[in-house]
Structure 1
Amino acid sequence: MALAFVLKVVVNAVALWVCTLLIAGIELGGASQSTRIGTLLGVALVFGLVNAVIKPLVKTVGCAFYLLTLGLIGLVVNALLFLLVGWISGQVGLPFEVTGFIPAFWGAIVVAIVSFVLHLAIPDRFDHRGGLG
């Protein structure tokens, strides 16, 4: 269980790092490499907490909007949650900045794609995300 949690944080950190490389408007501060890695791990924790706590609440409250838009509102919700992660990270002193909605929109998409690909590469015995069987 602890290994799965650590793996999820590391996968999110790598996905966030890819965002900082690909998307203008998502910036990672820090002078040294170890500071940047620590920042990415901290932001990945914030990202995981936001997705675990706030996202289910938003989906429950906005259920009708998900149905009306055939799920496309999820892209907007994910972008807003990504913006929230950037704001919370700044509030707790992590040098991670998301400068607007458009970078957050693309950042949420990149994180989803990179996380998906990385989870495909992780053997099931290490990646306990639940499932059938």
Structure 2
Amino acid sequence: MSFLIRIVVNAFAIWIVTLIPALQVSVIAFAPGETLQLVLTLLLVGLIFGLVNTIIGTVVKVLAFPLYVITLGLIGLIINAFLLWLTAWITSFWDWGLRVEDFWWGVVAAVIISLINWVFGLILRPRRSRD
């Protein structure tokens, strides 16, 4: 259930960052209705971003642990931008998906996505009861 919530939150965050002119989403053309096409595309891109972040992101973050320590975590911004760019590259094989025109706009988008995920994580995190 938490993975589905992460997909929806990622889709919402990607929709927010597509307001930046250098990032855009090409919609799926087989669904009826413009809004449904956009929602399905954002959910699929959110799914792919979630999988990339879960599988590849975990490996990269573990291998880059010394860089996290040296840069006090700032390398995480570059790694998140790389994962967003990788998602755009994966979806470029189809006619739909995320398009990132410039790497530095990808860094800005990764920061915004991280902030949105952090806020929703605070809101949706299950509360622990004190004993």
| Alignment match, 1:95 | 97
> Quick one: higher RCO (CA 8 Å, sep 6+), 1 or 2?
1
Counterpart of 2:13 in structure 1 is: 15
Amino acid of the residue matched to residue 111 of structure 2? Answer: I
Q: Which moved more, 1:113-122 or 1:10-19?
A: 113-122
Structure 1: how far apart are the matches of 2:15 and 2:55? 23
Note the aligned Cα RMSD (angstroms).
Answer: 1.9
Match of 1:26 in 2: 23
C-alpha separation in 2, matches of 1:92 and 1:54: 21
**Aligned pairs (5 A) from 1:31-46:** 32-46=34-48
Q: Residues 94-128 of structure 1: CA distance to partner in whole angstroms, max 9, x if unpaired?
A: 33211121111011111111122223333627xxx
Letter in 2 for 1:43: V
Distance 1:86 1:109 in 2: 16
List runs of 5+ in structure 1 lacking aligned partners.
Answer: 126-132
Deviates more, 1:11-20 or 1:115-124: 115-124
Q: What letter corresponds to residue 33 of structure 1 in structure 2?
A: T
Task: Name the TM-score, length of structure 1 as normaliser.
Answer: 0.82
Equivalent positions of 1:1-133 (< 5 A) are: 3-21=1-19, 23-30=20-27, 32-122=34-124, 124=126
Scaled by the length of structure 2, the TM-score of the pair is: 0.83
Paired amino acid for 1:101: F
Give the aligned partner of residue 130 of structure 1. Answer: none
Aligned partner of 1:128 in structure 2 is none
Corresponding residue pairs, total: 123
Give the share of equivalent positions with the same residue, in percent.
36
Retained in 2: the 8 A contact 1:42–1:94? no
Q: Cα deviation per residue 1:19-66 (whole Å; 9 max; x = unaligned)?
A: 112x22110122621111111000101111111111111122222222
SS, match of residue 75 in structure 1: helix
